[in-house]
Amino acid sequence: MSDIKLVDVTKQYEGQPQPAVDAVSLDIAAGELVVFVGPSGCGKTTTMKMINRLIEPTSGQILLGGADVMSIEPNELRRHIGYVIQQIGLFPHMTISENIQLVPGLLGWNRDRSRRRADELLDLVGLDPAAYRDRYPRQLSGGQQQRVGVARALAADPPVMLMDEPFGATDPITRERLQKEFLRLQAELRKTIVFVTHDFDEAVKLGDRIAVLKERSRVAQYDTPARILAAPADDYVASFAGSATAIKRLALIPAVRLPGEPLDERDGLPVLERGGSARDALDLMVRRGTSRVAVGDRTVDFAMICALLEDEHGR
């Protein structure tokens, strides 16, 4: 079991007037991807680093699978928690494969097994092992390095991953691709993940749940992306969620889940691409100037989309 439980966790840095993290409590279920989102300096990184003891809490308790992290030897703890930072921090004097093999090596895996694992992970993050395993970090682009950073964190198959703005340093297009691949990965791996970002849209895209943090890491709202968009707890959360929240919610709903009527081929309606969201359906309507589109073997109309948002509001 690898759920994470923060109980009244406080961090007071020496010489600071206020705690950076102030009595924060959060439960993160095993296999869940939770995103910490909040403005710069609100304490996201500090909160996250207390989980792998890179920072020691001043008071409060952090439980990992029920065990107090303070009772676990820090290096032992960290070898079982994947850690990805924004600056990536690959070791420039080691090959890509050696970078990935480092933690398995520390855990006493034999070389063959570590090597095979490195290849497997390169494959998993979309880099051809034959082409990349013997390269050095400086021979990779920023986005490729970021993938290696994720692969390295996954190396020893840790049940828990901490990711601090792992896609922060990439351009919007690469970022979106990395996010998509990451979601696909997570669907397969089902790790318990704490993911830090200050990009609310990224949080909506990736999170099973989002913890919206305000100053001193206080939890303003902790809920699913759909519910935070539908019912922000207060003005702070609402301002963070930004405008067009209804549209953002639609992006979370696969169009195939929309209620629809059987399609009559003779209507000649515009057809939505497979895998499109309710938002894509709406987009298609607006572009074609119709109020109905074809989704698979059914038709979906504008009123249904509105009704759905109304429905989800209560939930």
Partner 1 sequence: MDFSRYLERRWDDLLEQAVQHAAVVALSVLLATAIGVLVGVLTWRSARASGAAISVSAALLTIPSLALLALLIPLLGLGWAPTVVALVVYSLLPIIRNTVAGLRGVDPAILESARGMGLTGRQTMWRIQLPLAWPIILTGVRVSTQMLFAIATIAAYVAGPGLGNEILSGLAGLGSANALNKAVAGTAGVVLLALAFDLAFVGLRRVTTPRGLRV
Q: 282 touches which of partner 1, Mg ion, ligand ATP, none (CB within 5 to 8 A by kind)?
A: none
Q: Which among 37-45, 66-74, 109-117, 237-245 is the span making contact with Mg ion, rule CB under 5 A?
A: 37-45
Report the Cα 268 to chain-centroid distance in Å. Answer: 39
- Six-digit token pair at 97? 């494969």
13 touches, from Mg ion, ligand ATP, partner 1, none (C-beta below 5 to 8 Å by class): ligand ATP
Is 91:137 a contact under the CB 8 Å cutoff? yes
Partner in contact with 46, chosen from partner 1, Mg ion, ligand ATP, none, beta carbon below 5 to 8 Å by kind? ligand ATP
Per-residue DSSP letter, 273: P
| Amino acid present at 84 | V
Q: Which is nearer to ligand ATP, 186 or 197 (CB)?
A: 197
In the complex with ligand ATP, the residue whose CB is nearer, 43 or 260, is 43
> Considering the complex, what minimum distance in angstroms separates the CB of residue 258 from partner 1?
43
| Cα 207 from Cα 40, distance rounded (Å) | 19
Nearer to partner 1 (CB atom), residue 34 or residue 48: 48
Number of C-beta neighbours around residue 167 at 10 A = 25
Helix, strand, coil content of the chain in percent (nearest 5)? 45, 20, 35
Cβ atoms 186, 124 nearer than 8 A: no
C-beta of 41 vs 74, nearer to Mg ion? 41
From the list Mg ion, ligand ATP, partner 1, none, pick the one residue 87 interacts with, judged by a Cβ distance below 5 to 8 Å according to partner type. partner 1
Residues in touch with partner 1 (CB under 8 A): 52, 54, 74-80, 83, 85, 87-95, 102-103, 106, 136-139, 152, 162
Q: Using CB under 5 A, which of 9, 24, 26, 45 touches Mg ion?
A: 45
Say how far apart CA 182 and CA 254 lie, in whole Å.
Answer: 18
Per CB under 6 A, 16 contacts ligand ATP: yes
Residue number, 82 or 232, with CB nearest to partner 1 = 82
Smallest separation (angstroms) from partner 1 to the CB of 97 = 12
- HSE on the CB side for 172, CA within 13 Å? 2
Going 136 to 139 to 140 to 142, the CA torsion angle's sign is positive
Spatial contact of 80 and 51, defined as CB atoms under 8 Å apart = no
Which residues from 166-185 bind ligand ATP, rule CB under 6 A? none
Q: Radius of gyration over alpha carbons of the chain, in Å? A: 22
- Contact positions toward Mg ion, by CB under 5 A? 45
In the complex, the residues that contact ligand ATP under the rule CB under 6 A are: 13, 16, 20, 38, 40-46, 198
